[in-house]
Amino acid sequence: MTLTLSSTAFENGGSIPKKYGYKHGNTSPPLTLNGIPEKTASLVLIMDDPDAMGAVGKVWVHWIVWNIEPNNAEITENSIPSNCIEGETDFGEIGYGGPAPPDKEHTYIFKLYAVDKKLDAPKGSNKKQIESSMKNHIIEETVLKGKYAP
């Protein structure tokens, strides 16, 4: 099986509904996780906006969640699975920070990683710290893309 990430709220490459936007409810979308490799100890989810590079000079981080149990097949709308940890976004907040393009339509990338260990990172860690903690421990990864316009 191949690791996949999907959502009932939008198609891969499709438009993310307004209610998931930072200024329109800031509700995290429902996500379905499939094909989790057997040796997975935990899952990591990172949502970011590479299109922000042109507007703000960096890839904008919108959501970081780690130590998701591998038997978790679903992340329900506006929630996170129990016992997992969230990091700090580029909004300076812990938790989900929805799409908020400052200029034009952006593509948001939800990256799901299957890793062979639980990450020893405290709540509020940033993307760089989580990526460093995962280094050499990623078994498989997949992406889900969604577009959002202001």
pTM: 0.96
For the CA atoms of 123, 82, 67, 98, what is the dihedral angle to 10 degrees? -70
By C-alpha distance, which of 113, 18, 29 is closest to 76?
29
How do residues 33-81 score in pLDDT, each as one tens digit?
999 999 999 999 999 999 999 989 999 999 999 999 999 889 999 999 9
Pure H helices in the chain: 52-56, 127-134
Percent of the chain with pLDDT over 70: 100
Q: So where are the chain's domains?
A: 4-148
More confident site: 82 or 62? 62
CATH number of 4-148: 3.90.280.10
In whole angstroms, give the CA distance from residue 62 to residue 4: 20
